[in-house]
């Protein structure tokens, strides 16, 4: 493939992604990186058999399958799927632009992703985690409130950090969250979580560094203000929440890697173990499809099998 030929096509494709598709800089970088890896493999394998450089129209599904076979030896299915998606997108663009008459990727299926069972904590471990943050320092009071809300509501970490005080209705014991696709839903919140939030709000001024405290108290405590702040008075990030959840889990001796998403899984699993309806859990989690929620039934089945093996006289 001659450099000028490839460079011209990639330049056109880059403009298409940036202007028409309006992809982020991160996505654009990933797409182009995937394509360069693909073309490097194609050129190397073609050079071993042919003296003349390959052109795009010569790339057929056999060559693409050979590339995917090479990837299977060293990559996860999710990574292969992403790289294939980049290749498919590029060839669809070439077909649209009239560079190609047929799409060589049209009959190539995307590999199914591995579906590992979600990590969750036993009830005793979860309760121990909730009690771990220090209750006599402002940051510990805040962290207790974060853990209580994550476990009480089962919300995503992005939904947690997006909470404002106006989204919490202590009288009705519900919170309003903005989920994926800007879909809003109402989620119940338990009394323990509400108590932790009330205590945190009292301690909030002490959490902020003295030189920023007055400004935050003046205009950062109203209904539209963020709920969870850092010591500089800014909204906590998802990464910060992940760090503090993992840190408290290690502090209380939990062996498995614990993330905010693991607490979401714990919420769903404990509800299912207690007999909650799968449809209700779907609504609480904000899943658009029941199939996404059904992965928790595998965990529940494992639990039932252990109970059966332990308790049944003929097991």
63, 92, 261, 295: which is the annotated catalytic residue? 261
13, 31, 151, 296: which is the annotated catalytic residue? 296
The DSSP letter of residue 229 is B
Known catalytic membership, residue 73: no
46, 120, 144, 264: which is the annotated catalytic residue? 264
What whole-number distance in Å separates Cα of residue 101 and Cα of residue 84? 20
Known catalytic membership, residue 264: yes
Cβ-contact 58, 66 below 8 angstroms: no
Known catalytic membership, residue 113: no
**Distance in Å from the first CA to the final CA of the chain:** 65
46, 144, 156, 167: which is the annotated catalytic residue? 156
Q: Which residue do the tokens 């209750």 mark?
A: 135
Give the DSSP letter string of 52-71: SPP-GGG--HHHHHHHHHHH
128, 235, 287, 303: which is the annotated catalytic residue? 287
Closest by CA position to 145, among listed 187, 186, 194: 194
Cβ-contact 194, 133 below 8 angstroms: no
Hey, which residues does 176 pair with through a beta bridge?
A: 186
Q: For 121-134, give one letter per residue: b (16+ CB within 10 A) or e.
A: beeebbebbbebbe
Known catalytic membership, residue 67: no
Q: What is the dihedral of CA 185, 190, 195, 201, to 10 degrees?
A: -10
The total of other beta-carbon atoms located within 10 Å of residue 98's CB is 7
Known catalytic membership, residue 12: no
Cβ-contact 153, 254 below 8 angstroms: no
Q: If 0-12 CB within 10 Å is exposed, 13-18 middle and 19+ buried, where does residue 281 land?
A: buried
Known catalytic membership, residue 31: no
Q: Which two tokens stand for residue 57?
A: 């129209």
List all residues 6 or more positions away from 238 whose beta carbon is below 8 Å from its beta carbon.
157, 158, 161, 260
180, 232, 243, 250: which is the annotated catalytic residue? 180
The DSSP letter of residue 39 is H
List all residues 6 or more positions away from 73 whose beta carbon is below 8 Å from its beta carbon.
none
Q: Which residues are catalytic?
A: 156, 180, 261, 264, 287, 296
């Amino acid at each position: 493939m001659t450099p000028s030929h490839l460079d011209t096509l990639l330049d056109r494709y880059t403009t298409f992604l940036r202007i028409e598709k309006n992809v982020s800089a991160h996505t654009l970088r990933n797409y182009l990186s995937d394509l360069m890896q693909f073309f490097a493999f194609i050129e190397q394998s073609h050079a071993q058999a042919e003296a003349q450089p390959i052109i795009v129209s010569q790339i057929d599904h056999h060559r693409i399958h050979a590339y995917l076979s090479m990837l299977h030896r060293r990559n996860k299915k999710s990574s292969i799927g992403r790289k294939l998606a980049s290749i498919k997108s590029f060839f669809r663009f070439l077909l649209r632009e009239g560079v190609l008459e047929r799409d060589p990727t049209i009959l190539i299926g995307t590999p199914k992703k591995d579906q590992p069972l979600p990590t969750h904590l036993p009830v005793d471990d979860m309760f121990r985690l909730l009690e771990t943050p220090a209750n006599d320092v402002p940051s510990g009071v805040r962290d207790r409130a974060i853990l209580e809300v994550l476990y009480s509501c089962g919300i995503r970490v992005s939904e947690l950090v997006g909470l404002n005080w106006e989204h919490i209705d202590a009288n009705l014991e519900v919170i309003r969250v903005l989920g994926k696709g800007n879909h809003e839903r109402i989620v119940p919140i338990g009394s323990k979580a509400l108590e932790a939030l009330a205590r945190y709000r009292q301690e909030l001024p002490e959490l902020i560094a003295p030189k920023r405290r007055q400004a935050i108290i003046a205009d950062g405590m109203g209904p539209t203000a963020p709920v969870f702040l850092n010591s500089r008075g800014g909204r906590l990030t998802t990464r910060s929440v992940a760090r503090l959840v993992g840190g408290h889990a290690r502090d209380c001796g939990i062996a498995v890697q614990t993330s905010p998403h693991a607490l979401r899984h714990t919420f769903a699993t404990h509800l299912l173990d207690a007999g909650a309806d799968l449809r209700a859990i779907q609504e609480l989690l904000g899943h658009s499809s029941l199939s996404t929620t059904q992965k928790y039934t595998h965990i529940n089945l494992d639990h039932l099998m252990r109970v059966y093996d332990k308790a049944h006289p003929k097991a």
